[in-house]
Amino acid sequence: MKILTNREYGRFLREIKARIITARIQAVRSVNKELIKLYWDIGKTIVKRQEQYKWGDAVVEKLALDLAEEFNGVSGFSVQNLWRMRLLYLAYKDNAKLAQLVREIPWGQNIVIMQMVKDAKEREYYIRATAEMGWSRNVLLNQIKAGAYQYQKNMPKQHNFPKTLPEHLAEQADESIKSAYNLDFLDIKKPVIERELEFANRYHTVRG
């Protein structure tokens, strides 16, 4: 039997870790796309029904109450969030490119961009940057406050997004997997959350 060397095993371990990271990122992105698609569809349906039946704001409050009763413990269908879904549809319904791009980033980041950025090109920049750079909500918020869009607009030749940032993306995947938002959406209960967090802790230990 061939003796296992530290160099060979180190390369083997890095390969397996990279595959785990990639799989987790893909899983999170897949869930996120479906979640944003659902929110888009709900927002669109609210707008269309209000137009069709001349319903006022009260229908959103009633819908939130009925959904809370049906999906007990799921926080994503609050009155405030239903209004945000409506806003998502209204904000991007006339821009096919952005309507697709919003599915590439988490809901929290979408909310920040919708609330803080009004220009379509600027929104596109922050959506793409968040997707490609793996920006968390706080990082995105700071980038907007610092005027990152204006900076790159003035210095276009000196700014390019990296094609891949595995460390940043891995951190975002961990953050998203731990998020009660996505777990609520999947109707995953506490014992499963605890097992996932335990796995995440072991994973970070290996990385260290």
CA distance linking residue 39 with residue 31, whole number of Å:
12
Look at residue 39 in the predicted model and tell me its pLDDT. 97
Look at residue 165 in the predicted model and tell me its pLDDT. 44
Mean pLDDT score, 36-64: 97
Per-position b or e across 81-94, b if 16+ CB within 10 A of its CB: bbbbbbbbbebbee
Digit-coded pLDDT (tens) for 52-88: 999 999 999 999 999 999 998 788 999 999 999 999 9
Q: Are the C-beta atoms of 166 and 15 separated by less than 8 Å? A: no
Which of these, 207, 178, 176, lies nearest to 20 by C-alpha position? 207
**What number of CA atoms fall less than 13 Å from residue 25's CA on the CB side?**
20
CA distance linking residue 34 with residue 176, whole number of Å:
14
Banded model confidence at residue 194, pLDDT cuts 50, 70, 90 = very low
SS3 106: coil
Per the model's pLDDT, the better-predicted residue between 185 and 76 turns out to be 76
Q: State both tokens at 115.
A: 């609330």
Look at residue 176 in the predicted model and tell me its pLDDT. 60
Exposed, middle or buried: residue 202 (CB in 10 Å: 0-12, 13-18, 19+)?
Answer: exposed
* Chain length of the chain: 208
Banded model confidence at residue 192, pLDDT cuts 50, 70, 90 = very low
Look at residue 28 in the predicted model and tell me its pLDDT. 86
Q: How far is CA 50 from the centre of its chain?
A: 28
CA 151 vs CA 41, 46, 144, 161, 197: distances in Å: 35, 38, 11, 14, 38
